[in-house]
A and B are shown apart, each in its own frame.
Chain A
Amino acid sequence: MSAAYEVVIGLEVHVELKTATKLFCGCANAFGQEPNTETCPVCLGMPGVLPVLNGEAVSLAARAALALHCEIHSYSKFDRKQYFYPDLPKAYQISQYDQPLAENGYVEIGFGEGKRKIGIERIHLEEDAGKLNHIGNRLGDATGSLVDLNRAGVPLIEIVSRPQMHSPEEARQYLTELKTILSYLDISDLRMEEGSMRCDANISLKPSDYTGSLFDLPRVEIKNVNSFRNVQRGIEYEIGRQKERLAQGLAIVRETRGFDDASGTTYSQRSKEEANDYRYFPEPDLPPLVLSEEWLAKQQHMMPELPDSLRAGLLQRGVAERDVQVLVQDPDLYRYWQQAVAEFSDVRQVTNWILSDYSRLMNAHSLSFAAPTVTAKALASLLRLIESGTLSGKMAKEVLEAMFESGETPQAVVKRLGLIQITDQDAIRDIVSSVVMANPAVVKDFLGGKDKALAFLVGQVMKQTKGQAKPDLVNDLLREVIATYA
């Protein structure tokens, strides 16, 4: 059997909201504290406690919903999702089941002609669970587990996509764009490695002649993959695995699978038969969440400019499409770019310098544009030195590196290293003459039509001027001097 299949992928993304306090109590929402120090009777699930909804979390969730073009319901409610596990103090998670905060949005992926909308089914608010630290290497041979409830009760939104992605690459694009949009809202740290953004992927293979509901297709869920790359790898592996099974005439079992980073494979965790019956029912301790028109209007008013509109603006300013993608993907980088352009209006120069030389330095040191070592102002004054002819491009690169290391202004670096571009024609002409005299063979080659020979002579002049001679001037003078010899 070699039937044709369409790959169907849906993603569930959990995003921790960076509120000051937890979703239902006054504990600080802080990552990386001593275990169980950010806890209180409420998030420990002590007898008699009650949840009180954090308005800030609702506001941040609403911002996400607006940015993802969702319809925010003026009436939603909370439900209890019940299961026993030591990281879940009440043995139920307060979540939203059948009446979520928001529904029916989308994320646009690709660009230009290839743009495509991936539907968002719903966004709901819920509380995070705590963490178990297993004593021993892995769960299998752990001798015990320590429960840390600092994370218990931290607000999350779950963003559920429609099953509208058809390749691992599309899934990655969706995640990247989703993260980009959310990063402009400043509602989450979005760090997958710290768990503030988590992704589960649902994968089915739809036979080309299948006409039934997607929901009825056997579906495999890959849980809690820790990077976009691994989401992509996990999906790739899973498609291959499922295709192979189908080719062998085997059925696809509906199940939850984990992803093993080292081998790049997935492994079975839980089949549908073992799945929990969560026994959802409305949370009696919380009144329904009712949002007024005025409140929603206020949230709308607080929305920042979003990536789509930023991209359009950049294209209009003449930034190349490829650069636009890179600039907008990181809000800190984009802000840096904005500041630099405000100081130095040559958009092309600014973009080139930021995306090539400066980004390379930042990446090499794993630094983020949130805390740039060279301020946008300093970068702009460096570019001004090039513009005025004080520095050559090559010298400027050297200066930038020095600025990066020491945090000095470009002027200070130039002064310290004595790096002033020599623009004095007479001074350069003397050196040019001596180089021409010293290399008669090369000059002969050049005159014989070998253009490359000139580059060698330019190099010699630059060497003698310690690179400070203005390159185009050197070029002109060399031709002039050689002409007089010939």
Chain B
Amino acid sequence: MAIIDWDAYDTAQKVQSGEVSALECVDAALERIASWDSVIGAFLHVDAEGAREKARIMDSTMTREAKAALPLAGVPVAIKDNMVTTDMPTTAASQILKGFRSPYNATVVERLVRAGAILVGKTNLDEFAMGSSTEHSAYKVTRNPWDTERVPGGSSGGSAAAVAARMVPFALGSDTGGSIRLPASYCGVLGIKPTYGRVSRYGLIAYASSLDQIGPLTRSVRDAAKILHIIAGKDPRDATSIDASSVSSEVGPVQIQNVRIGLPEEYFGDGMDSRVRDKIDNVLEQLRSMGARLVPISLPHTRYAIATYYLIAPAEASSNLSRYDGVRYGQRVVGQDLVSMYESTRAKGFGHEVKHRILLGTHALSAGYYDAYYLKAQKVRTLIRQDFENAFKQVDLIVTPTVPDLPFKLGEREQDPLQMYLTDIFTVTTNLAGIPGLSQPIGLADGLPVGLQWMGPPLAEDLILSAAGRLESALTLPQWPMLGGLDR
């Protein structure tokens, strides 16, 4: 196996043992990016020299003992470009933040760096994380490594593609309605959206504050556990972060026959691609054969989830994005007066989808509409949360497909926002309920990845990861994507 084939777990171990240097790991990642990113388009910014310099410093100044104390010693990492970094620009894939350099680092970035990870670059996304395909970036298109004519999913498409294409062992994404799990599923990698509050949002450019969570995209369950363990925890700078006992850094040995797994009927109805259904059915059979008890359940308010999400998220977004006014930072388009400066700056700086959502959200919060839209959506949100509370009285975990279909072609859904929004249909519920969700690759259908979603009660990340770990070891997964048939 080459360096780029290793997961973060192996990479750190081999750097700690001295088998490879941090510089070799960083070089392997950078070479891979240099060779393939022109095809994939995962990165908005790569800091090759900065990354090499950090690796050199680690190699030359740190003792073996010091490195052993770093759980991610020398592991290259990519960060979705909506998390702020001082060493590289942060744009949220928007023109309005072109060239913006943050004066501070996001908490997750600090935590990764403290653990020894080396930041190599910032990845592409749908502008301000608004989208399901990464086609709404102001800068570039990201392609699915399994089929470069197809989308990687979104909005953390750059992070998912970079991990799938073995440019980095892991990356960070953010998930507001499925933005980690959807691209993880489409790109055949693992992605976890933690319980709301588990990971600090300080330094995450807000899309919808009550839904946003940061999580890792990885190539193994054990990496997901390890990285979540590092980035999770109470942060004094995020009042919504929670002080829960930390996530275990190791995947626990869970006996799957003790686990009751709920199958919500609302997620297994019509409209699912039959190829996805076949893969899911196979895995469910496998879980059953491993001794899991599959329990049919109902989450009756699921059908309102998309509508609820598309009121709450844009409402919060319309407020969160108001600060991009051209006054203090980012792009400014000069106008004759203050109002025309605001208007021109925002008209030019924001892309179509972002404007669409700002308008939706502004309307939902307007006098005379607030009760009918925003307030009602909040009430339905409570009902959706209660659905899960009731379900978790009967079952330990829930599994569903992550997405009802396979990765679609670039441009295929551009003219049909409603169908694009439906891509999130199985993932938005966990954000609305604030519970953890994980997407795990379970194999290919017609050469394209299919993902299984695990959902659990609040703070049940350990249980989810353990169950996913058991399944992972039972599955025979395809090796690597072919990057448009060009690789290997």
Residue A441, interface by CB 8 Å: no
Residue B344, interface by CB 8 Å: no
Query: Which chain B residues border A86 with CB–CB below 8 Å?
Result: 325, 327, 338
Does A50 contact B90, Cβ atoms closer than 8 Å?
Answer: no
Residue B210, interface by CB 8 Å: yes
Q: Which of B316, B323, B362 contacts A47 (CB 8 A)?
A: B323
Does B84 contact A47, Cβ atoms closer than 8 Å?
Answer: yes
Residue B118, interface by CB 8 Å: no
Q: Which of A51, A52, A90, A279 contacts B367 (CB 8 A)?
A: A279
**Scoring A residues 247 to 291 as 1 if CB is less than 8 Å from chain B, else 0, what string do you get?**
000000000000000000000000000000101110011110000
Given A45-B328, A82-B319, residue A285 in contact with residue B240 (CB < 8 A): yes
Q: Which of A41, A80, A281, A284 contacts B104 (CB 8 A)?
A: A41
**Scoring A residues 41 to 77 as 1 if CB is less than 8 Å from chain B, else 0, what string do you get?**
1001111111111000000000000000000000000
Residue B6, interface by CB 8 Å: no
Does A91 contact B323, Cβ atoms closer than 8 Å?
Answer: yes
Does B239 contact A51, Cβ atoms closer than 8 Å?
Answer: yes
Does B322 contact A90, Cβ atoms closer than 8 Å?
Answer: yes
Given A52-B237, A287-B240, residue A84 in contact with residue B322 (CB < 8 A): yes
Residue B209, interface by CB 8 Å: yes
Residue A147, interface by CB 8 Å: yes
Nearest-neighbor residue (CB-CB) of A80 within chain B = B319
Nearest-neighbor residue (CB-CB) of B324 within chain A = A47
Q: Report the interface size for chain B: residues with CB under 8 A from the other chain.
A: 42
| A48, A53, A285, A286: most-surrounded residue (chain B CB, <10 A) | A48
Residue B93, interface by CB 8 Å: no
Taken together as a complex, chains A and B put the C-alpha atoms of A284 and B196 apart, in Å, by 12
Does A281 contact B239, Cβ atoms closer than 8 Å?
Answer: no
Residue B202, interface by CB 8 Å: yes
Does A84 contact B325, Cβ atoms closer than 8 Å?
Answer: yes
Residue B365, interface by CB 8 Å: yes
Does A92 contact B202, Cβ atoms closer than 8 Å?
Answer: no
- Nearest Cβ on chain A to B32's Cβ, whole angstroms: 29
- Nearest Cβ on chain A to B309's Cβ, whole angstroms: 14
Taken together as a complex, chains A and B put the C-alpha atoms of A51 and B202 apart, in Å, by 9
Taken together as a complex, chains A and B put the C-alpha atoms of A84 and B240 apart, in Å, by 26
Given A91-B325, A281-B365, residue A41 in contact with residue B103 (CB < 8 A): yes
Q: Which of B106, B208, B316, B367 contacts A48 (CB 8 A)?
A: B106
Does A48 contact B203, Cβ atoms closer than 8 Å?
Answer: yes
Residue A89, interface by CB 8 Å: yes
Query: Which chain A residues border B338 with CB–CB below 8 Å?
Result: 86
Taken together as a complex, chains A and B put the C-alpha atoms of A92 and B104 apart, in Å, by 22
Q: Which of A47, A51, A89, A277 contacts B90 (CB 8 A)?
A: A47
Query: Which chain B residues border A284 with CB–CB below 8 Å?
Result: 208-210, 240, 316
Taken together as a complex, chains A and B put the C-alpha atoms of A51 and B208 apart, in Å, by 15
Does B84 contact A50, Cβ atoms closer than 8 Å?
Answer: no
Does A281 contact B322, Cβ atoms closer than 8 Å?
Answer: no
Does B366 contact A277, Cβ atoms closer than 8 Å?
Answer: yes
Does A281 contact B319, Cβ atoms closer than 8 Å?
Answer: yes
Residue B342, interface by CB 8 Å: yes
Nearest-neighbor residue (CB-CB) of B200 within chain A = A50
Interface residues of B in 181-212 (CB under 8 A from A): 201-206, 208-210
| B208, B236, B319, B338: most-surrounded residue (chain A CB, <10 A) | B319
Does B97 contact A47, Cβ atoms closer than 8 Å?
Answer: yes
Taken together as a complex, chains A and B put the C-alpha atoms of A49 and B236 apart, in Å, by 12
Interface residues of B in 373-407 (CB under 8 A from A): 374
Interface residues of B in 294-349 (CB under 8 A from A): 315-316, 318-319, 322-323, 325, 327-329, 338, 342
Number of A-B contacts (CB under 8 A): 97
Given A84-B342, A281-B315, A281-B319, residue A48 in contact with residue B205 (CB < 8 A): yes
Given A284-B210, A284-B316, residue A48 in contact with residue B83 (CB < 8 A): yes
Query: Which chain B residues border A285 with CB–CB below 8 Å?
Result: 206, 209, 239-240
Nearest-neighbor residue (CB-CB) of A44 within chain B = B328
Residue B100, interface by CB 8 Å: yes
**Scoring B residues 71 to 86 as 1 if CB is less than 8 Å from chain A, else 0, what string do you get?**
0000000000001100
Taken together as a complex, chains A and B put the C-alpha atoms of A41 and B319 apart, in Å, by 18
Does B370 contact A281, Cβ atoms closer than 8 Å?
Answer: yes
Does B323 contact A90, Cβ atoms closer than 8 Å?
Answer: yes
Residue B163, interface by CB 8 Å: no
Query: Which chain B residues border A80 with CB–CB below 8 Å?
Result: 319
Taken together as a complex, chains A and B put the C-alpha atoms of A457 and B370 apart, in Å, by 88
- Nearest Cβ on chain A to B87's Cβ, whole angstroms: 15
| A285, A286, A287: most-surrounded residue (chain B CB, <10 A) | A285
Does A91 contact B240, Cβ atoms closer than 8 Å?
Answer: no
Taken together as a complex, chains A and B put the C-alpha atoms of A428 and B123 apart, in Å, by 102
Taken together as a complex, chains A and B put the C-alpha atoms of A409 and B87 apart, in Å, by 65
- Nearest Cβ on chain A to B368's Cβ, whole angstroms: 9
Taken together as a complex, chains A and B put the C-alpha atoms of A41 and B102 apart, in Å, by 9
Does B202 contact A50, Cβ atoms closer than 8 Å?
Answer: yes
- Nearest Cβ on chain A to B200's Cβ, whole angstroms: 8
Query: Which chain A residues border B342 with CB–CB below 8 Å?
Result: 84
**Scoring A residues 294 to 316 as 1 if CB is less than 8 Å from chain B, else 0, what string do you get?**
00000000000000000000000
**15 CB < 8 A contacts A-B:** A47-B100, A47-B329, A48-B205, A50-B240, A51-B239, A52-B236, A52-B238, A80-B319, A84-B342, A89-B328, A279-B362, A279-B365, A285-B206, A285-B239, A286-B239
List 19 other contacts, CB 8 Å, given A41-B103, A47-B323: A46-B102, A46-B328, A47-B84, A47-B92, A47-B97, A47-B205, A47-B329, A49-B202, A50-B237, A50-B239, A51-B239, A52-B236, A84-B322, A89-B328, A90-B322, A92-B319, A279-B319, A279-B370, A284-B208
A-B residue pairs, 9 tightest by C-beta: A91-B322, A284-B209, A284-B210, A279-B365, A48-B203, A47-B205, A48-B84, A277-B367, A45-B323
Instruction: Report B's interface with A, CB cutoff 8 A.
Output: 83-84, 90, 92, 97, 100, 102-104, 106, 201-206, 208-210, 236-240, 315-316, 318-319, 322-323, 325, 327-329, 338, 342, 362, 365-367, 370, 374
